[in-house]
Amino acid sequence: MSVVFSWDDSLGEGRAPLARASGAGVGGNDRAPPERRTSRLPQRYVGLIWLMSCCEPALAAEVSHKAHGPVITAMLACVCGITLVLAVYCIRHYVFTLNRLFAAQRHPYIDVDTADWPTLTVFIAAHNEEAVIKDALTALLNADYPRSKLQITPVNDRSTDNTEVIVDQFVARYPLRLLPFHRRSGKPGKAAALKDAMAYVHSEVIIVFDADYVPSRGLLKQLVAPLFDPEVGAVMGRVVPCNADTNLLTRLLDLERSGGYQVDQQARMNLGLVPQYGGTVGSVRVSALQCVGGWHDDVLAEDTDLTYRLLLAGWKIAYQNRSECYEEVPEAWAVRVKQIMRWTKGHNQVLVRHGRKIISNPFLTPMEKADAILLLGVYAVAPLVIIGWVLSIGLYFFDALPFGSGILVAFAFFAYSTVGNFAAFFEIAAAVRMDRNRGRIRLLPLNFLGFLTSVVSISRATLNQLFWDRWSKGGLQWDKTVRYRKAT
C-alpha cells in the first residue's frame, strides 16, 4: 500500500505531489490509482503522523491513509471520550461490587435499639390510593416507636376516589394517633403536597412512605437511628419489590433493584461516598430540610434534588441496607418507560442545578465529589452510548478506525456498551447471590432488554428535555405510578 503525503490541498490543479513513498510513481492521469489515495491533512496533523511513524510505521500509514481530515479526527476523539466515560462507570461498578463481596461492611447505626427517640412524623403520600392505603396505615399503627413521639399523617392529595373516606375512618378509630392532611387544591405532585404538609409538622424527624408501602414493625426506629449522628441529614432504606413474580418485567426490575440497593447503595455507604435519598422508605431531619430550603416542587426528582442540597450544605446521607420495605414495581413496559423518563428529566435537572457547585464544595472529599458527579451523570450515559454507536458505525464505514481492523474496534465498542457495561451485570449477580437467591440469576442475560429500553427511554427523555419541553407543557408533568394491588 503506498501513501502519498500532500502539503497542498489543491491536487486537482494538476500539481505533482511533493513526496512519494518508495515504489510509487507519478501517474500522468488526474485520478490517482485506487491504491494511491491522497490525504488532505492539515499541517498540524502531519507532525503527529510523523511521530506515530517513528513508533508504529504501519499504524501511521494506515491513519494517514484513512484520515479524511478533522471530521474523522473529531469523531475518533468522541468515540475515545465516550469509551473513557463508559470505562469509568465500568470501573466504578466493579469497585462497588468487589467492595460488597470482599471489604468490610458498614452498618454503624443498625444496632441502636434503645434511645431517647426524637419526635417523628410519618407522611403517607396518597393520591387515589384506596386500594392500598389501608395496609400502610395498619402497619404504621402497629409500628414499634414510642407512641407519644409518633404522629402519622396521611397526606391525601386531591384524591377523587375513596382515599379520604378510608383515612377518615382510621382517624375516627385512632383519633390521637392519626392527623390527616387533606389537600384539595394546589400544585400537583408529591413534592408540592409534602411542601404544604410540612407547615403542620412540629417534629424533629419526618419519614415519607408512598401509600403502597407496608413498613415492618421495627422499620421506623431503624430509619431514625442514623439521625443521632449530627452529620446525617437523611436516611435511606432498601425497597424490595413485592410483585416480582408477576411477569418478566417485574422479575427484571427485581434484579435491578437488588443490584441498585444491595450492592450500589451499600458500597457507597461502605466507601464513604454518596448514598442517595430515594424519597420513600427514608427519613429526613427537619432542621436539615429547613436549612436547605425545604421541599422543592419545581423538580421532577425531588429526592435527588434534596440529596444534593443536603450534601452541598454539609449533611450526609446514610443508607441502611437492612431497613427493608416492600414496594410495587411497574408491571407494564409503558409504565416503566414513563417512570424512567421522569427519573431522567429529574436527574438532569439536578445535574444542571447543582453539578458545578459540587466541585468547589468544602464539605465533600475529592472522592465524594467524584462520586456525586458520576451519580448525577448516570442518566447522561445512555445518550452517550447511542452517540458512540452511531459514531462507531460511521467510522467503520469511513474505514477510519485505527489500531488495525476497524471491525475489531467497532466490535469491542459494541461488545462493551451493548452488554450495557458488563460490570452492571456483575453487580446484579453479586446482589442476587447476597440475597441468597439462585434461580433468578438465570434471567440475567435478559436484563439486556431492560437496559436497552432504558437507553432508548433515557435518550428520548433527554432529547425532549433539551429541545421539546421548553416549548411545550411537557416539562414538569407528574404521572402517577399505577397501582396493581387490589384493595384488601
The residues binding another protein (CB under 8 A) are 106, 108-109, 111-116, 139, 144, 214, 216-218, 221-222, 225, 228-231, 240-245, 248, 251, 254, 258, 287-288, 290-292, 313-314, 324-326, 362-363, 435, 437-440, 442-446
Burial of 330 (0-12, 13-18, 19+ CB in 10 A): buried
Q: How far is the CB of 411 from another protein (least distance, A)?
A: 13
Q: Given the complex with another protein, which of 202 and 438 has the nearer CB atom? A: 438
Which H or E element spans position 406? helix 406-418
Burial of 224 (0-12, 13-18, 19+ CB in 10 A): buried
What backbone phi and psi angles, to 5 degrees, belong to 93?
-65, -35
Q: Given the complex with another protein, which of 269 and 382 has the nearer CB atom? A: 269
**Distance (Å, whole) CA 207 – CA 190:** 14
Which H or E element spans position 185? none
Q: How far is the CB of 394 from another protein (least distance, A)?
A: 25
Cβ-Cβ contacts under 8 Å for 201 (sequence gap 6 or more): 121, 153, 286
Q: Given the complex with another protein, which of 291 and 386 has the nearer CB atom? A: 291
Q: Given the complex with another protein, which of 291 and 373 has the nearer CB atom? A: 291
Q: Given the complex with another protein, which of 227 and 381 has the nearer CB atom? A: 227
Q: How far is the CB of 46 from another protein (least distance, A)?
A: 42
Q: Given the complex with another protein, which of 7 and 287 has the nearer CB atom? A: 287
**Distance (Å, whole) CA 455 – CA 382:** 5
Residue type at position 402:
P
Residue type at position 433:
R
Q: How far is the CB of 283 from another protein (least distance, A)?
A: 15
Q: Given the complex with another protein, which of 31 and 438 has the nearer CB atom? A: 438
Counting every residue written for the chain, the total comes to: 488
Angle at 239 between CA 234 and CA 242, to 5 degrees: 155
How far is the CA of 188 from the CAs of 124, 158, 281, 346, in angstroms?
16, 8, 21, 16
What backbone phi and psi angles, to 5 degrees, belong to 340?
-75, -30
- Is 204:286 a contact under the CB 8 Å cutoff? yes
**Distance (Å, whole) CA 466 – CA 486:** 39
Helices (H), 276-405: 286-291, 302-312, 333-359, 366-397
Q: Given the complex with another protein, which of 290 and 405 has the nearer CB atom? A: 290
Q: How far is the CB of 361 from another protein (least distance, A)?
A: 10
Q: How far is the CB of 29 from another protein (least distance, A)?
A: 38
Q: How far is the CB of 422 from another protein (least distance, A)?
A: 13
Q: Given the complex with another protein, which of 109 and 295 has the nearer CB atom? A: 109
Rg of the Cα atoms in the chain: 28
Q: How far is the CB of 308 from another protein (least distance, A)?
A: 14
Q: How far is the CB of 243 from another protein (least distance, A)?
A: 8
Q: Given the complex with another protein, which of 9 and 144 has the nearer CB atom? A: 144
Q: How far is the CB of 184 from another protein (least distance, A)?
A: 31
Q: Given the complex with another protein, which of 112 and 378 has the nearer CB atom? A: 112
Q: What is the maximum span of the chain, computed from C-alpha positions, in angstroms?
A: 102
Q: How far is the CB of 27 from another protein (least distance, A)?
A: 38
| Segment 287-296 long-range contacts (CB within 8 Å, at least 24 positions apart) | 287/204, 288/233, 288/234, 288/313, 288/315, 289/198, 289/206, 289/233, 291/315, 292/233, 294/195, 294/198, 295/191, 295/192, 295/194, 295/195, 295/198, 296/191, 296/195
Query: Among 59, 62, 81, 63, which residue's Cα sits nearest to residue 72?
Result: 63
**Distance (Å, whole) CA 28 – CA 351:** 60
**Distance (Å, whole) CA 311 – CA 369:** 10
Q: Given the complex with another protein, which of 325 and 458 has the nearer CB atom? A: 325
Q: How far is the CB of 331 from another protein (least distance, A)?
A: 14
